[in-house]
Each structure stands twice: as C-alpha cells, then as structure tokens.
Amino acid sequence: MNTADDLGLPVDVPSTALFTDHYELTMLQAALAAGTADRRSVFEVFTRRLPEGRRYGVVAGTGRVLDAVENFRFDADVLGFLRERRVVDEPTLEWLASYRFTGDIWGYPEGEVYFPGSPIVRVEGSFAQCVLLETVILSILNHDSAIAAAASRMSSAAGNRPLVEMGARRTHELSAVAAARAAYVGGFATTSDLAAGFRYGIPTVGTSAHAFTLLHDRERDAFQAQVTSLGRGTTLLVDTYDVAEAVRTAVEVAGADLGAVRIDSGDLLLVAHRVRQQLDELGATKTKIIVTSDLDEYAIASLAAAPVDSYGVGTQLVTGSGHPTCSMVYKLVARAESADPKAPLVPVAKKSTGGKTSIGGRKWAARRLDEHGVAEAEVIGTGPVPGGLADRQLLAELVKGGQVVAREPLDVVRDRHAAARANLPLSATQLSRGEPVIPTEYV
C-alpha cells in the first residue's frame, strides 16, 4: 500500500485491483493466449455529450485515479479469490501477480472544465496493462466529475456566499468522502464529513441538530448548553418550534455576539428576511444566517436577494443534482500492429449507429480564446497541433513510466477550477437549459 506522502495524507489506500469488471480479466487472458496483450495501445476517456441542460463539465477525481492506479496490485488474497472462482487460468494469474502499470497517463488537470469529445484522460501502454484500468478510472471520474459539476453550478449561484457540504447521510459512506472532495473542487468551502476532513484536509464544520434541542426540557436550556460549551460564536438552530421565539431566546442567551442562526425549514426567502429584521432589532447585527433544507442550485439562486450568509447542501449535491454520472467512456483509439515497441500506432474506432460512434487516433486538445481571452472553442485533433494553439494545449502528464508525476494539493485544484470557469463565456453560469457553452471542433 502507498500513501501520498508529499501531501501529508494520513490514510493508506488499499489494493484497487478488484475495482474492475470480470470481463477485463477474461479479455486479458484471451489476449495473452493470442499474443496480442503486449501491443502498444492508447485508451481515452471522454463523454459524447454533457448531461441534459449542462453547459460545461468539471474534471474531478484525478487525484483519486492516480492513487487507484498506483495501488492496482494483485496480492495473495486477491489472486486466491480469482483462482477459487476460476475467473482466469493459471498463466493469467501468474501474469497478474507481478502487475504494475508502467505506462504513461496524460489528462486534463483536475479542476479544469471539459466538453463533449474532450480527451479527459489518455492512458498509454500495453493493451494488457491499460485494459485492466477501465472500470476503476471510469468509476472515479464519472462519480466525482458529476458531483463537482453540481457543486460548481451551486457555488456559481451562491456568488460570494460560502457553501457547506453536508450530504454524507444521503449516500454510501465511502461515496460521501469522495463527494465532499469533489464538492470542494467545485467551490464548496467546508464539509460536515469528518472522514473527508481526515482524508483530504478539507475544513470541517458543525454545531447541533434538532435532536439536541429536543433532548432538553426547554429550548433555552439547549441554547444555553451549546453556548456554554462552544462559545457565543456558535450557530444555533432556530426552527425546532417557533422561529421568532427561538431567535429572541438565542440572542438573550448568547447576546449580540451570537455567531449565527440556522434555518432548516419553511419558506426560506420569507423567513430569512424576517429573521434578519428581528436580529437587527435585537442588536445582533453581525449574527449570520445559514440556511439548509434540501437546497439545489435553483433554490440557491432564488435566495440571491435574501439576507442569507451561507448555505448548507446535502442530498442534491451528492446525487449530482439530478445527474449522478457523466456517462464517460474508456475507449481504445489506437494500437500497434504488433508487439514490437517500434511498431507504429494505427487509429481504431468502433463503428456504430445510435450515437455511440467514436473517433480513432491519439488526440490532443486545446482551448481557443477570443481577443478578450474568453474561451470560444474546444479544439481536438490527431495530427500536428496548429501553431496558434501550441500554448493552449490542455493535456498534462500525470504518470510517466508508471510513476505519478502530477500530484497536487486540493486547494490548487480548487483554484484551477475557479479560474477555468471564469474564462468561459458568461452564459456558462446560467442555470437555464442550453447547449455546451463553447463548441467542440475537430481538426
């Protein structure tokens, strides 16, 4: 097992070798027997279309992909499982026992935006080494990019108001950690999930739920206990019973230095205005208002004119706000005619009807800008890169000769996304349904 020591991450990543589909291994067995397993190959990750109504996608999960590739190892227990189930034959098990990815991986830097056809990740090496990575790479990128895209739309709608990720109880416990990471990439400021804070260093926040108020005989007793324990800067939940009475009690208990109140139900727009007016009349002019209650990007946008200071988002975020996957695929686009390392690559592509066609060839991608420095097209090609786009290429080297070369702190990724989104046309942040904000051009 390996850790990302350079980032100081505290959690080891276990073997990811079985995060794959059965047929990856049966293809491997057949290719080894046919003598084609060592052919140099190029696989690419892309999506044929964005989720309906989305104007751009967000690349997220790249750092987790690097961990997964680094820890793709077939140890004794894994090999024993494969042998017991007779998934593959003994020669294939012997090959798997020494599996190490020794190829190269290029990709859009994490946090970058993407569009239909964008070669988000390019994996190069022998067919045998590359084909095994399909499922784990897609599993991570499809999930994390979907969450990050939803988070990006929400953070855009929120403007300068911070967002708290609080969806752990609405999804699988491990997905919750990945979702918190992806949400941070997309612009969220904090998470309620301690595992995400521990694993990735994301700031964590939290105070109390309705259960804490209901535990006490009086709401005042609950507020007093919380303030005594956590200080006047805490956030008091004021909608367990009567909001107006709770706000009055909260200020009486904590004073004008009360940090914040949280509203979790009702007509948030109306209640927020009433609470703000009441807090100001009570002298708590600096007390902030936090709203929760099944928010999505549309609800957040509708509260733009409300006196709200931050938002807590759960269910809609961790489910991709209606689009829990990006429909990314992992396709062989080029391969050598033989196992000779010097054999030239030949473009290959599936020919199909029904919108599942692919374009063969090892691709590059660049983003063309207009005279104002705003993106105007995603340009993709397989031949020489035009001179005017040479310094606008998007793919960066992530793995070289099997060694990870591009691990980054999560804050760098988060800042990259903010910059990438800011360089898109203004219509990118519109929540109304529409086509991708820039076209994809093939040259």
Quote the domain boundaries for residue 211: 148-322
pLDDT at 1 over 50: no
CATH of the domain at 105: 3.20.140.10
Number of domains in the chain: 2
**Predicted confidence (pLDDT) per residue in 70-89, tens digit:** 999 999 999 999 999 999 99
Q: What is the dihedral of CA 405, 407, 412, 416, to 10 degrees?
A: 60
Say if CB 88 and CB 28 are below 8 A apart: yes
Residues 20 and 106 in one domain: yes
Residues 363 and 422 in one domain: yes
Residues 434 and 334 in one domain: yes
Residues 312 and 355 in one domain: no
**Predicted confidence (pLDDT) per residue in 184-213, tens digit:** 999 999 999 999 999 999 999 999 999 999
pTM to 2 decimal places: 0.94
Say if CB 348 and CB 335 are below 8 A apart: yes
Query: Is residue 288 assigned to a domain?
Result: yes
Residues 187 and 314 in one domain: yes
CA contacts within 13 A on the Cβ side of 394: 29
Q: Strands, E, within 27-147: which ranges?
A: 40-46, 57-58, 104-107, 113-114, 121-126
pLDDT at 2 over 60: no
Pairing outcome for strands 163-165 and 235-237: unpaired
The predicted pLDDT at position 71 comes to 94
Query: Is residue 142 assigned to a domain?
Result: no
Residues 287 and 181 in one domain: yes
Q: Bridge partners of 191?
A: 165, 204
Residues 305 and 263 in one domain: yes
Residues 47 and 127 in one domain: yes
The predicted pLDDT at position 10 comes to 54
**For 281, phi and psi rounded to 5 degrees?**
-65, -30
Query: Is residue 303 assigned to a domain?
Result: yes
Residues 86 and 101 in one domain: yes
Percentage of the chain modeled with pLDDT above 70: 96
The predicted pLDDT at position 293 comes to 92
Tokens of 211: 């259960």
**Predicted confidence (pLDDT) per residue in 337-394, tens digit:** 999 989 999 999 988 766 777 899 999 999 999 999 999 999 999 989 999 999 999 9
Question: Which residue, 304, 322, 340, sits at the end of a domain?
Answer: 322
Dihedral class, residue 88 (left if φ above 0, else alpha if ψ from -120 to 50, else beta) = beta
Across the range 321-332, mean pLDDT stands at 97
The predicted pLDDT at position 114 comes to 98
The predicted pLDDT at position 14 comes to 73
Query: Is residue 137 assigned to a domain?
Result: no
The predicted pLDDT at position 7 comes to 54
Residues 270 and 250 in one domain: yes
pLDDT at 57 over 80: yes
Query: Is residue 258 assigned to a domain?
Result: yes
CA distances to 3, 69, 106 from 110, in Å: 19, 16, 11
CATH of the domain at 207: 3.20.20.70
Residues 215 and 167 in one domain: yes
Residues 172 and 313 in one domain: yes
The predicted pLDDT at position 350 comes to 85
The predicted pLDDT at position 357 comes to 76
Across the range 229-237, mean pLDDT stands at 98
Sign of CA dihedral 92, 97, 101, 102: negative
Percentage of the chain modeled with pLDDT above 90: 92
**Predicted confidence (pLDDT) per residue in 119-153, tens digit:** 999 999 999 999 999 999 999 999 999 999 999 99
Question: Which residue, 274, 297, 322, sits at the end of a domain?
Answer: 322
Question: Which residue, 271, 298, 322, sits at the end of a domain?
Answer: 322
The predicted pLDDT at position 356 comes to 76
